[in-house]
């Protein structure tokens, strides 16, 4: 015979520091869920202020990480991503203030009706609960993720790269003090303790404690999380994006969109990685495209037909190499692009279905029928018609912020803003209704 | 140097029959996705007609399963669930015709705007792609799931119980013939070959081929799928539902809702499994509740305070036994209920947060403040105010059909209808826009 327990936490308290963190996050999430927007916005403003006031201790911690990275022979590009400066901290604080201005998704009535029996049915947005973010380098993600999760009423568990451990520890300390000072549970923002791989594994296995894991980083990180996690995962980011130039097209527009999609910022997931050209337009388009890509410093990994076209060009500066099978599925993230001539729009679609990571594909066409067929048949998060692949972005889409770009079909697809950090619940209100 | 491949299927063709089925489903899904509603509705009507025309061969196959089940000493209740009759086949066909009447979720514009740069942004519903359903007994699920998936433009992979293998094989044959006869790809509906556990494991590991797995059945089936699957899973169905009777309450209403929630159909997931009573109302409420539960044939697993109340009842027919710890988390699915007295509404919420499976919880109260606090703090798929827990159901909610009740927070929560079988994609339309 037992009385009903009244503590929402397990007995005994778990020994694992990772699971302790997760239990604390659950308790904080329960407190956060019913909070009105004003309480959350006050905490966000306190976070932004604290980042500016305590910049010195953040930079000191960051300097330790940077020095360690240099000693380990890390590339300057990665050291630069890791490095914080007073200006960068100010920019991070400013991003937090931008989140304050966004509407609160919690409480939104998604659907509502009165049922035939008189019951009032409402489906309302609620926080997911505990959100785990596993990410690499870039300490700004620590603050971004904390701000977006707090605004949407979620407790966040942050598991950054061990190379940024000191920076993240300092940032989270500042954020927790600010959240606690604003009267909210400091455990709404926590760093997952430990720098070992085991702490990641524990996090991935904390099903029932953690509601969702969002990995942000390279393909191998994401694959590991997807394969090993029992916690539901939102897969993000791999972008093998295609630009298809249709038989009927505006050649100037096609060249501009191609170059912009590939070269405006090649290191990001919405940059184009493969060019497909309809055979009817190839003789006109390819010479111009190859020159423009050469101008932008892009190497073309060409199939037989693109290669043949390149060989006929006299005096071109184009760098063209033969494509191998791997090129069709490679996300270069560099000044490289694969290129092939296809027999038809449907062949382009078949190529995309086979090789694309399902992120973003663009068609450049003057034909309404082609635009319609391409958008119907291509199954990616985003299909662009006469626009650069580079627009697939939470900021560009007007979401105001982005926690990542989902490339899976479940829960969220494409750029994820605040509503994508929520679930829903149904509220059924009757006057004693029974069945 | 390679030409771009043009077949959307792998080379070499996989040797595993399960993976072959999944590849065929992907190809079918690509054909289904752009189909207009009329084409899908025609196929659904053909399915319904074929079930009625070919009832004889379905019943013959079913008789084999039923005989085998009887020989294996299966309980009559389960044999009954397995058994098809001409009337039951007619009812199944009629359910398919009901799906025809439902709106097609595919193509719905979920969100749309013109961005400041003039780009038109639309988020539209698209099918998930390939949906795998793993389920137990009940051959009607085979047809229901096929109809709902086809209507929402998805190819379905059906993995029923091996005890219903002959019935499911016959049903799927009839459905495939009808779908093919209506000019749609027959591979839109497939049975996963093999009766072994290995075929389930292969299905659960087919990430990238199968877009989502929905297990329907007992808790151990669902746990296995959740733990072992790399394919995204929608967790369904476990319902440890609570009825909380508040300090301020209409006693008649509370008794009625309690008995209806528990006893109207105890074997289903939205039946109540635990009663929580505020201490202030317990002296008045418990005697009436215990009598009413006894009347309905319900055994009460009572905490100390409920037990004490029961001992003071003279001449009561109530069957009351002491609760053990396990009772608080048990989904009885029988004429049993756990019962506890709690100190406050907040204590009821804490109990629910600790023990509930997050399906449905009801409060019976006359207090607006209590109703508001309970609905804010309880984090379950459905919170009912002055209504039975039994209303959490796709049919009751007016969705017209239900593929299951999700008890997870990602993608879908609560009863899942046709929209929950879709994802979305963004369509970005410009006039040569670049960044």
In a domain, residue B5? The reply is no
Q: Is residue B27 domain-shared with residue B74, that is, in the same domain?
A: yes
Q: Is-contact A423 B409, C-beta < 8 A?
A: yes
pLDDT range class, residue A415, cuts 50, 70, 90: very high
Please confirm whether the linkage preceding A165 is cis (ω < 30° from 0): no
pLDDT digits (tens, 9 = 90+) for A63-106: 999 999 999 999 998 899 999 999 999 999 999 999 999 999 99
Of A33, A250, A388, nearest to B379 by CB-CB distance is A33
Rounded mean pLDDT of A231-259?
Answer: 95
Quote the pLDDT of residue B6: 38
CATH number at residue B70: 3.40.605.10
**What is the span of the domain harbouring residue B254?**
241-396
In a domain, residue A404? The reply is no
**Residue B75 contacts by C-beta under 8 Å, 6 or more apart in sequence?**
none
Q: Is residue B179 domain-shared with residue B198, that is, in the same domain?
A: yes
Of residues A148 and A219, more confidently modeled: A148
**In angstroms, what separates the C-alpha of B278 from chain A's closest C-alpha?**
13
In a domain, residue B406? The reply is no
Q: Is residue B43 domain-shared with residue B182, that is, in the same domain?
A: yes
Partner residues linked to B338 by β-bridges? B274, B301
Angle at A249 between CA A243 and CA A255, to 5 degrees: 55
3-class secondary-structure state, position B325: helix
In a domain, residue A174? The reply is yes
**In angstroms, what separates the C-alpha of A82 from chain B's closest C-alpha?**
26
Please confirm whether the linkage preceding B12 is cis (ω < 30° from 0): yes
Total domains in the fold of chain B: 2
In a domain, residue B275? The reply is yes
Please give the Cα distance from A313 to A307 (Å, whole number): 10
Chain B residues closer than 8 Å to A5 by CB: 328, 351, 354
Chain B residues closer than 8 Å to A380 by CB: 425
**Residue A397 contacts by C-beta under 8 Å, 6 or more apart in sequence?**
A391, A414, A415, A417, B115, B121, B426
pLDDT range class, residue A317, cuts 50, 70, 90: confident
pLDDT digits (tens, 9 = 90+) for B5-64: 433 345 567 889 999 999 999 999 999 999 999 999 999 999 999 999 999 999 999 999
Please give the Cα distance from A58 to B162 (Å, whole number): 60
Q: Is residue B249 domain-shared with residue B295, that is, in the same domain?
A: yes
Of B350, B392, B410, nearest to A411 by CB-CB distance is B410
CATH number at residue B256: 3.40.309.10
Q: Is residue A255 domain-shared with residue A204, that is, in the same domain?
A: no
Please give the Cα distance from B234 to B421 (Å, whole number): 11
The mean pLDDT value of chain A amounts to 93
Do the strands A155-159 and A189-191 form a parallel or antiparallel pair, or are they unpaired? parallel
Report CB contact under 8 Å: A33, B126. Answer: no
Please give the Cα distance from A256 to A249 (Å, whole number): 12
Q: Is-contact A192 A199, C-beta < 8 A?
A: yes
Of A128, A384, A410, nearest to B428 by CB-CB distance is A384
Please give the Cα distance from B143 to B313 (Å, whole number): 51
Determine whether A12 is exposed, middle or buried from the number of CB atoms within 10 Å of its CB (0-12, 13-18, 19+).
Answer: exposed
Quote the pLDDT of residue B217: 82
Quote the pLDDT of residue B335: 97
Helix locations, B296-359, DSSP H: 304-311, 345-355
Q: What is the ipTM of this complex?
A: 0.93
Interface test mutation site (partner B, options A2, A3, A4, A365, max chain B beta carbons within 10 A): A4
Determine whether B195 is exposed, middle or buried from the number of CB atoms within 10 Å of its CB (0-12, 13-18, 19+).
Answer: middle
CA dihedral A259, A261, A264, A265 (to 10 degrees): -140
Report CB contact under 8 Å: A323, B257. Answer: no
Q: Is residue B227 domain-shared with residue B257, that is, in the same domain?
A: no
In a domain, residue B405? The reply is no
Please give the Cα distance from B396 to B177 (Å, whole number): 33
Element housing B169 (H / E): helix B165-181
Q: Is-contact B153 B106, C-beta < 8 A?
A: yes
What is chain A's length?
A: 435
**In angstroms, what separates the C-alpha of A70 from chain B's closest C-alpha?**
34
Q: Is residue A198 domain-shared with residue A262, that is, in the same domain?
A: no
Angle at A328 between CA A324 and CA A329, to 5 degrees: 120
Report CB contact under 8 Å: A8, B350. Answer: yes
Chain A residue closest in CA terms to B208: A408
DSSP labels, A75-88: -HHHHHHH---HHH
Chain A residues closer than 8 Å to B276 by CB: 4
pLDDT range class, residue A11, cuts 50, 70, 90: low
Please give the Cα distance from A244 to A242 (Å, whole number): 6
Helix locations, B187-341, DSSP H: 197-204, 219-228, 251-263, 282-295, 304-311
Partner residues linked to B361 by β-bridges? B242, B383
**In angstroms, what separates the C-alpha of A128 from chain B's closest C-alpha?**
6
Q: Is residue B41 domain-shared with residue B148, that is, in the same domain?
A: yes
Report CB contact under 8 Å: A260, B434. Answer: yes
Q: Is residue A80 domain-shared with residue A178, that is, in the same domain?
A: yes
Chain A residues closer than 8 Å to B305 by CB: 3
Of B260, B354, B398, nearest to A8 by CB-CB distance is B354
**Residue A301 contacts by C-beta under 8 Å, 6 or more apart in sequence?**
A321, A322, A323, A324, A327, A336, A337, A338, A339
CA neighbor of B153 nearest in space, from B102, B185, B109, B106? B106
Please give the Cα distance from A255 to A293 (Å, whole number): 9
Q: Is residue B258 domain-shared with residue B276, that is, in the same domain?
A: yes
Element housing A355 (H / E): helix A345-355
Q: Is residue B191 domain-shared with residue B259, that is, in the same domain?
A: no
User: Distance from CA of residue B80 to its chain's centroid?
Assistant: 21
In angstroms, how far is the first alpha carbon of chain B from the final one? 33
Task: Per residue of chain B (435 residues), give pLDDT as tens.
Answer: 344 443 334 556 788 999 999 999 999 999 999 999 999 999 999 999 999 999 999 999 999 999 999 999 999 988 999 999 999 999 999 999 999 999 999 999 999 999 999 999 999 999 999 999 999 878 999 999 999 999 999 999 999 998 999 999 999 999 999 999 999 999 999 999 987 888 899 999 998 899 999 998 888 888 889 888 989 999 887 899 999 999 999 999 999 999 999 999 999 999 999 999 999 999 999 999 999 999 999 999 999 999 999 998 888 788 999 999 999 999 999 999 999 999 999 999 999 999 999 999 999 999 999 999 999 999 999 999 999 999 999 999 999 878 999 999 999 999 999 999 999 999 999 999 999
In a domain, residue B1? The reply is no
Chain A residues closer than 8 Å to B153 by CB: none
Q: Is residue A68 domain-shared with residue A41, that is, in the same domain?
A: yes
In a domain, residue B278? The reply is yes
pLDDT digits (tens, 9 = 90+) for A178-194: 999 999 999 999 999 98
CA neighbor of B213 nearest in space, from B194, B191, B186, B235? B235
């Amino acid at each position: 015979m037992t009385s009903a327990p009244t503590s929402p936490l397990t007995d005994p308290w778990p020994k694992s520091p990772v699971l302790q963190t997760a239990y604390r996050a659950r308790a904080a999430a329960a407190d956060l869920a019913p909070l009105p927007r004003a309480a959350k916005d006050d905490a966000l403003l306190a976070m932004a202020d604290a980042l500016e006031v305590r910049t010195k201790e953040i930079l000191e911690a960051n300097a330790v990480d940077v020095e360690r990275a240099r000693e380990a022979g890390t590339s300057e590009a990665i050291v630069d991503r890791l490095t914080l400066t007073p200006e960068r901290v100010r920019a991070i604080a400013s991003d937090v203030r931008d989140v304050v201005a966004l509407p609160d998704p919690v409480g939104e009535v998604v659907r509502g009706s009165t049922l035939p029996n008189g019951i009032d049915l409402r489906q309302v947005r609620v926080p997911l609960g505990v959100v785990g973010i596993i990410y690499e380098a870039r300490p700004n993600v620590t603050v971004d993720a904390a701000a977006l999760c707090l605004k949407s009423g979620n407790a966040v568990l942050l598991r950054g790269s061990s190379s940024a451990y000191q920076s993240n520890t300092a940032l989270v300390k500042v954020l927790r003090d600010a959240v606690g000072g604003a009267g909210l549970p400091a455990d709404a923002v926590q760093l997952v303790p430990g720098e070992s791989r085991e702490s990641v594994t524990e996090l991935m296995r904390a099903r029932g404690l953690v509601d969702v894991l969002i990995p942000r980083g390279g393909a191998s990180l994401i694959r590991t999380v997807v394969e090993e996690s029992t916690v539901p995962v939102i897969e993000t980011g791999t972008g093998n994006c295609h630009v298809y130039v249709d038989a009927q097209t505006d050649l100037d527009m096609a060249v501009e969109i191609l170059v912009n999609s590939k070269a405006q910022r090649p290191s990001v997931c919405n940059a184009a990685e493969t060019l497909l050209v309809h055979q009817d337009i190839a003789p006109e388009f390819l010479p111009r495209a190859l020159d423009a890509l050469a101008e932008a410093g892009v190497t073309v990994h060409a199939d037989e037909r693109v290669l043949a076209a390149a060989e006929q060009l006299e005096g071109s500066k184009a760098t063209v190499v033969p494509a191998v099978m791997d090129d069709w599925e490679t996300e270069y993230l560099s000044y490289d692009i694969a290129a092939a001539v296809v027999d038809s729009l449907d062949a382009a679609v078949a190529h995309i279905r086979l090789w694309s990571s399902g992120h973003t594909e663009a068609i450049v066409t003057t034909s309404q029928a082609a635009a319609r067929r391409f958008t119907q048949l291509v199954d990616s998060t985003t299909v662009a018609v006469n626009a650069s692949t580079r627009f697939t972005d939470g900021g560009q889409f007007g979401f105001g912020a982005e926690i990542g770009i989902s490339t899976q079909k479940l829960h969220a697809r494409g750029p994820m803003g605040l509503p994508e950090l929520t679930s829903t619940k149904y509220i059924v209100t009757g006057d004693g209704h029974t069945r």
